[in-house]
Amino acid sequence: MTAKLHMQGVTKVFPGVKALDDVSISVKSGEVLGLVGVNGAGKSTLMNVLGGIYRPDGGHIEIDGRRVDFARPIDADAAGIAFIHQELLYFPSLTVAENMFISHLPTGKLPFSVDKRAARARAQASLDQLGSGIRPTARMESLSVGEMQVVEIARAVAMGADIVIFDEPSSSLSIKEKEALFNIVRKLKAEGKAVIYISHFLDEIQELCDRYVVLRNGQLVGSGDIAEVTHDQIVEMIVGQVVTERAARTRRKGGAPMLSLEGIRREGILDGASLELREGEVLGLWGLMGSGRTELIRSVLGLDPMDGGRITLAIDGDSREVSHDELLERTAYVTESRRTDGLFLDEAIWKNISSTTLADYARGRMRVLDKAAEAGTARSMIDRLKIMTPDHHTQAAILSGGNQQKVVFAKWLNRKPDILILDEPTRGVDVSSKGEIGELVGALAEAGTSVLLVTSEIEEMVALADRVLVLRDGMIAAEMLGEDITETALMAAALRTEAAHA
């Protein structure tokens, strides 16, 4: 059988970067191809070429053995390619059905009219086909990230796509949503679609994919059958060197109380959550999406309303009640969504990095900024965190997802904070950088920083947290210490909460 899709010798050059260098891949119908590689390896770019978003500078695409040329995304659409993007694109105030058919609304009897009933029925049919319970009339903004993704996939199904691309689909999903996603991918495969699946989670790749392709620095450095390689071999190909086992670590005890929250309440979300964060510890906050983890942080920092509760902070050894602004000033906060509130997307990397410590660069009575010093800091951060970019003047928006996340980290490291709050700190970050960020967090805690960690990744919680609090229904429901922090225990705690909600 010939390949459904073949990309031959694709090359793509951006100013200062050769994002793809003579890459060839093929996928057969009924096959799932795993696409892996470090941040900035070129995975999204390769798929953007396939999706008609970028024109390649070299090479071509064949579908069913025939050469095709996509000038615009619509051309790729028409050729049966559906692209589930890394960052979902949608119209929040429209309904699910309207979002699904935004470019192909069934027309009604009158000219320019829209047959809403037909749109709803077709939406319902493809959602059913995926075994999803989402209503076509629901507003997009009322859905969780996982549900929105299902809508995108349903859209692909409804369009009759037979090549489906997933770009890091699982990075913002809860455990249950991930299971649902995997089932959908298996279903697509069984229906004979050709699927390309990008992920930094190698266990997902091993579970779902038939074959794999590894990209590094825009080049294809390995490919083959999943069954014939081990986890460690893939990691080696991805990072380009032999990986060493990390030594087992001991859990830190933590010192004097740094921050204590008492009875934090917020209408309908938080119901008297209390916790104490100590000096030099990594405190994990565990719970399913929607349990109030992010809301707790935002309320306490004054970014969302808070209806009650006390915030006490140790300042120079003295504990006293503080305002939201005082806390915000002493806190570094790596937010959950880098694009909305982590980065200045249109600005250069160096301006992003210095943004948290601007006053340190102000000189003289006019408070003139020392741009050379800002650039110097940016360059050293780029080296330290191995941010892949042509230079520090590059706009944050054009970095790959994982490298954007590193820029967010860089801007906070620059501040040397007392309190570091991490909300999904490694979302979209590759295996090797994940390890580096983990080490960095550990080193900061060793040096006395108090770290509050929110993550949906179970391995990350086990690897980093010294103590874990389980958040359920806006309250702290349980605490786990030392050896009790295991994957099984965390899984049980999460499933208990999910079950309670079902």
Partner 1 sequence: MVGEMVDTSQTYVPRDSGVLKLWHWLRSHPALLPVVLSVVMALVFALTVPNFADLRNIMNIFGQLGFLGFLCIGMTYVMVAGGIDLSSYTVVSAAAVVGATVMVATDSTVPGCLLMLVIGLAFGTINGIAIAYLRMVPFIVTLSTMVLAEGFAIWFTQAQSVYGLPYAFIDIFSARILPMTWGISARPVGIPVAGIAVLVAALILGFVLSRTLYGRRVYLTGANEETARISGIRVRRIKFSTYVLAGLMAAITAMILTADLGTATTAMVRDVRLMDIIAATVIGGASLKGGKGSILGSMFGLLFLTMLSNAFNLLGVSPFIAMVIKGTVLVAVIGLDVLRAK
Ligand X SMILES: Nc1ncnc2c1ncn2[C@@H]1O[C@H](COP(=O)(O)OP(=O)(O)OP(=O)(O)O)[C@@H](O)[C@H]1O
Q: How far is the CB of 69 from partner 1 (least distance, A)?
A: 21
Minimum distance, C-beta of residue 197 to partner 1, in the bound complex (Å): 18
DSSP codes, 51-63: TTSS--SEEEEEE
Single out the residue of 29, 44, 403, 405 in contact with Mg ion (rule: CB under 5 A). 44
Residue 180 C-beta: closest distance to partner 1, Å: 30
SS3 state at 487? helix
Residue pointed to by tokens 């004097």: 256
In whole angstroms, how close is the CB of 196 to partner 1 at the nearest point?
Answer: 18
Residue 391 beta carbon to ligand X: minimum distance, rounded to whole angstroms = 11
Partner from ligand X, Mg ion, partner 1, none binding residue 266, C-beta < 5-8 Å depending on class:
none
State the Cα–Cα distance between residues 486 and 500, nearest whole angstrom: 21
Least Å distance, CB 18 to ligand X, is: 9
Q: How many CB atoms lie within 10 A of CB 372?
A: 9
**CA-to-CA separations, 42 to 191, 196, 220, 278, 383, in angstroms, rounded:** 29, 14, 10, 41, 20
Contacting range for ligand X; rule: CB under 6 A; set: 41-49, 61-69, 129-137, 308-316: 41-49
Interaction with Mg ion in 385-424: which residues (CB under 5 A)? 400-401
Select the binding partner of residue 39 from Mg ion, ligand X, partner 1, none (C-beta < 5 to 8 A, by kind): ligand X
> What is the residue type of 151?
V
Work out whether 343 is an interface residue with partner 1 (CB under 8 A). Answer: yes
List 6, 7, 10, 39, residue binding ligand X (CB under 6 A): 39
Among candidate residues 195, 172, 185, 97, the one with its CA nearest the CA of residue 140: 97
Q: Which two tokens stand for residue 19?
A: 């994002």
Tokens of 129: 């086909």
Site for ligand X in 393-452 (CB under 6 A): 398-403, 428, 430
Q: Which of 29, 45, 199, 356 binds ligand X (CB under 6 A)?
A: 45
DSSP state of 248: P
Residues 354-413 that bind partner 1 (CB under 8 A): 355-356, 358-359, 361-362, 366-369, 388-391, 393-395, 411
Amino acid in the structure at residue 464: L
Closest CB 400 distance from Mg ion, rounded Å? 5
Q: How many CB atoms lie within 10 A of CB 315?
A: 12
DSSP 483: G
Contact flag: residue 45 with Mg ion (CB under 5 A): no
126 contacts ligand X (rule: CB under 6 A): no
Report which of 13, 85, 81 is spatially closest to residue 50, judged by C-alpha positions.
81
- Select the residue interacting with ligand X from 5, 19, 156, 283 (CB under 6 A): 19
Q: Which residue has the tokens 């949906």?
A: 456
Q: Is residue 388 a contact point for ligand X (CB under 6 A)?
A: yes
CA 415 to chain centre: 24
Nearer CB in complex with Mg ion: 292/401? 401
In angstroms, what is the minimal distance from the CB of 82 to Mg ion?
17
398-411 burial: b if 16+ Cβ within 10 Å, else e: ebbbbbbbbbbbbb
Q: Decide: is 44 part of the binding site for ligand X (CB under 6 A).
A: yes
**Sign of CA pseudo-dihedral 147, 152, 157, 161:** negative
The answer to whether 352 contacts ligand X (rule: CB under 6 A) is: no
Q: In what order do the strands lie in the sheet with 270-278?
A: 270-278, 257-266, 308-315, 318-321
Only one of the segments 17-25, 135-143, 244-252, 459-467 lies at the binding site for partner 1 (rule: CB under 8 A); that segment is: 17-25
Query: Looking at 24, 137, 233, 323, which residue binds partner 1 (CB under 8 A)?
Result: 233
- Give the single-character DSSP code of 90: -
Under the criterion CB under 8 A, does residue 16 sit at the interface with partner 1? yes
**Contacted by 368, from Mg ion, ligand X, partner 1, none: CB < 5 to 8 Å by type:** partner 1
Chain centroid offset of residue 199 CA: 10
The number of angstroms, rounded, from the C-alpha of 290 to the middle of its chain's C-alpha atoms is 16
Binding region for ligand X (CB under 6 A): 14, 17, 19, 37, 39-45, 388, 398-403, 428, 430
Residues in the site for partner 1, rule: CB under 8 A?
A: 15-18, 21, 214, 216-225, 228-229, 233, 236-237, 240, 301, 303, 325, 328-329, 333, 335, 340-348, 351, 355-356, 358-359, 361-362, 366-369, 388-391, 393-395, 411, 415
Binding site for Mg ion (CB under 5 A): 44, 400-401
